[in-house]
Structure 1
Amino acid sequence: MRQILEVEKLATFGGHKDGLYSVVHFDDKGKFYTAGSDGFVVEWQLDDPDKGKLVAKVPSTVYAMCALKEENLLVVGQNGDGIHLLDITSGKELKSLKLTDQAVFGIERFENELFIGTGDGWLFVVDLQSWSVTKKVKASENSIRSVAVDTQRKNVWVGCSDHTIKGYSMESLAEIRELIGHANSVFALTLTPDQQYLVSGSRDAHMRVWNLDGFVETQQDIVAHMYTINDIVFRKDGKYFATCSKDKSVKIWRTEDWRLLKVVDKARYAGHGTSVNRLAWIGEDVVVSVSDDHSASAWKVQGL
């Protein structure tokens, strides 16, 4: 079925002094947060792009954040300085926790635990109430670049710089599976909202779809971009998803048949001029992207 999408650039959000590596949103009302190399954590509203609010300044580069939506808190992962818990209303740091001297590249929450992947290959489990490490496992001699949580099967998956994807039981951190297929670091990892598929993106520019029902196998192997795939995010209902890349583009896909529907780039839509590093899908039809060009952009996707 041919589906035609139209894309409108809603706004550009400027003010950061360096490249951006993380974006998260709390709800579908248009509030989101950006962070990157300058250490600024900034709050934005989709309908007011000129009024970014500085929430916090942390000492080093931020590669990952995690929204604790019910508590109105934000976990910020730093380069070499562990994780920081911020109250987004007051901007105050409530707690911090040093994990290793390497960067934090992935933070995911399930119930009362955080699953954190670091640049020296460790997967940490942090209890939110005690704010302490309760379990850890060495997943790779290289970096863990991405983390994804399977809430249905109670497993956590990590994408590594040794080209592998590894799965662990949340309860015991026993390894349950190693997925081999990518030819380079796995920078992007997420599950479809129905938890049936694990979707990975790599420096090899391939996107792989792994069927988690029964025997884990590659359902799809798609050359999705020209260069590194940095992030993959699904719309809440799982019908569509977006990818972004070092090739400076954002792409919109249909999950039903893994079909590419639209390419958002500089030439056609005044997109980013450098690597697009992270994405957030807000509501039904808005995708926010952050880039090495120091800015965030919001895109309204019509025809979904």
Structure 2
Amino acid sequence: MITLLQTLNGHQNPVYTLEMDIPKQLLYSAGNDKGVVEWDLQTLAFKRVLCAVPSSVYALHQIPGTSYLAVGMRSGDLFVVDTHSQTLKAKLKIESGSIFCIRSLVGKQELVVIGESGKAYVYRLTDFQLLYTFQISDTTIRSIAVYADESALAFGDKNGVIYLISAVDYQLIAKAKIHDMSITSLCFVGKSLYSGGRDAKMYKLDYPSLEVALEITPHLFTVYSILPLHKNGFISTVSRDKTIKIWNSDLKLQKNISRDKGIASHFLSINSQAYHPELGLLATAGDDKAIHIWQISLT
């Protein structure tokens, strides 16, 4: 059962990224508005503009176990904002290009940032000092996924290549050309890696071999996000084709959420999604500037 609970309005431009603060039951959104917005998931209402930013925001990442939100921008700026005190904890900048994805390794206390140049930047979480950089690809990387035990990371580049990198020493474990076009989403679920791309394809890959287990065409256009729902293998995908789709672990379609199905969903590209497992709430947002909050009950 999937029900639209609320539509959150207020953004004046497309929304590119969403992030949950699960313990605090908050949602953060950002895009082309040059500001990060905080929403209350209890009241399903606007709470505040968390901070202003100098350019469009492509990536948000709530650092687990902290009150810090990392904000990655088109300009290459990286802000770390303390959401409790609403202060800027760190103001950083990568060497060139935009920041497309941010992830953290809690065990190592490291923050991994990636962008247009295909280079990874690793910062120490305790003081946000740059520890090292390393080149993964000679082209843009838009997505990162972290394996559950934080032993490895997967990166997907513009040429459709996935790189599996050891989180211990950042050395290459495996590499495979999977998509015909840019990889736009990656997600680990159990011992499988799911990848989505601009070629409208989604693959279920075995870990760590990166061998293809399943391949489908879930959407008409780019697959912008893949997200696990609950612990029973269900995943959600969103796309430029304006649809949200729910799949089981065998990639069998369970639900198609779209205006074509008579549901009051998005009418332009859906760029991002975020899920709160305890509340069973899925947030989606995109070019129509609206954020939809869905109640999800899956068995």
Q: Report SS of the residue matched to 2:46.
A: coil
For 2:103, the equivalent position in structure 1 comes to 108
Q: Shift in Å at residue 153 of structure 1?
A: 6.4
Which whole-Å CA distance do the structure 1 matches of 2:246 and 2:172 have between them? 33
- Residue number in structure 1 paired with 2:246: 252
Aligned partner of 1:265 in structure 2 is 258
Structure 1 residue runs of 5 or longer lacking an equivalent are 1-5
- Structural RMSD (CA): 1.6
More displaced stretch, 146-155 vs 245-254: 146-155
Closer/same/farther in 2, CA of residues 8 and 151 from structure 1, 3 Å limit: closer
1:44 Cα deviation after fit: 0.7
Amino acid at match of 2:253: L
* Residues 33 and 41, structure 1, Cα contact 8 Å, conserved in 2: yes
Deviations 1:234-260 (A, max 9, x none): 0242521100000011111112x2211
Question: Residue 8 of structure 2 aligns with which residue?
Answer: 13
Q: Quick one: which amino acid aligns to residue 260 of structure 1?
A: L
Equivalent in the alignment of 1:125? 122
CA offsets, 1:214-270, max 9 Å, x none?
x33111111111000000110242521100000011111112x22110011123211
Q: Distance in 1 between matches of 2:228 and 2:162?
A: 20
Once the 2 structures are TM-superposed, how far is the Cα of residue 172 of structure 1 from its aligned partner? 2.1
Q: Does 1:53 align with 2:48?
A: yes
Contact map agreement 1:251 1:261 (CA 8 A) in 2: yes
> Are 1:155 and 2:152 counterparts?
yes
TM-score scaled by structure 2? Answer: 0.93
Picking from 161, 165, 183, the partner of 2:162 is 165
Number of residues of Structure 1 aligned to a counterpart in Structure 2: 295
Instruction: Name the CA shift for 1:231/1:49 in 2 (closer, same or farther; >3 Å).
Output: same
The answer as to 2:223 corresponding to 1:229 is yes
CA offset digits 1:6-48 (Å, max 9, x no partner): 3211111111111111111111664211111112111112343
1:206/1:225 contact within 8 Å kept: yes
Equivalent residue, structure 2, for 1:142: 139
- Where in structure 2 are the equivalents of 1:57-96 lying within 5 Å? 57-96=52-91
Alpha-carbon distance change, 188 to 238 in structure 1, aligned in 2, over 3 angstroms:
farther
Identical amino acids, percent of aligned pairs: 27
Q: Which residue of 1 aligns with 2:291?
A: 296
The one-letter code of the counterpart of 1:158 is: F
Distance 2:120 2:165 in 1: 10
Moved more, 228-237 or 126-135: 126-135
Shift of 1:142: 1.6
Counterpart-to-counterpart distance in 1, 2:23 and 2:291: 17
AA aligned opposite 2:254: L
Q: CA deviation at 1:81?
A: 3.1
Give the stretch that moved more between structures: 121-130 or 218-227: 121-130
Structure 1 residues 246 and 237: alpha-carbon distance in aligned structure 2, compared to 1, 3 A threshold: same
- Counterpart in 2 of 1:206? 201
Which sits farther off after the overlay, 112-121 or 48-57? Answer: 48-57
Q: Is the 8 A contact 1:145 1:188 kept in 2?
A: yes
Give 2:282's aligned residue: 287
| CA distance in structure 2 between the aligned counterparts of 1:202 and 1:165, rounded to whole angstroms | 11
The equivalent of 1:43 in structure 2 is 38
Distance 1:49 1:300 in 2: 12
Aligned equivalents of 1:200, 1:157: Cα separation in 2: 10
Question: In the alignment, residue 7 of structure 1 is paired with which amino acid?
Answer: I
For the Cα contact (< 8 Å) 1:167–1:175, is it kept in 2? yes
Q: What is the rounded CA distance, in whole Å, between the counterparts of 1:58 and 1:80 in structure 2?
A: 10
- Measured in 1, the distance between the counterparts of 2:121 and 2:46 equals 36
Q: TM-score, normalised by structure 1?
A: 0.92
2:178 to 178, 181, 201: 181
- Offset of residue 135 of structure 1: 2.3
